[in-house]
Amino acid sequence: MTEIILLISALFVADNYEFLKEAKEQMEQGAEWHYVGHQKIDPNAKAISMQCVDQSGKPCGEKFILWKLKKNQASRNVIGVAKRRAPKSRTMSSSVLAAAAR
């Protein structure tokens, strides 16, 4: 029984190696899995898709996904803040000067 589980796991990893490698790289960069519901496959993205089958074993419907790897919103905010640096020299705007004069 253990051998069968190991064989199935090895076949899954071998068949989906590129997807698993890319997913690992994206997760190291802050991406997380999000449930997106029943959606068509993005032809430009790597995915492990699903497809329904009827009682005779014939595929029915189109392939779909339920989960998608997305960059975490918090990591986007940190990256966005890092990109928006304050200028070296600051000048007061006319509205700030007007408010200070009151």
The Cα angle at residue 87 between residues 85 and 88, in degrees rounded to 5? 120
Q: Above 50 in pLDDT, residue 99?
A: no
The tens digit of pLDDT for each residue in 9-30 reads: 999 999 999 999 999 999 999 9
Query: CA 2 to CA 30: how far, in whole Å?
Result: 34
Q: What is the domain partition of the chain in residue ranges?
A: 2-84
Query: CA 43 to CA 20: how far, in whole Å?
Result: 17
Which of 5 and 83 is assigned the larger pLDDT? 5
Q: How confident is the model at residue 79, as a pLDDT?
A: 46
Residues in the chain, overall count: 102
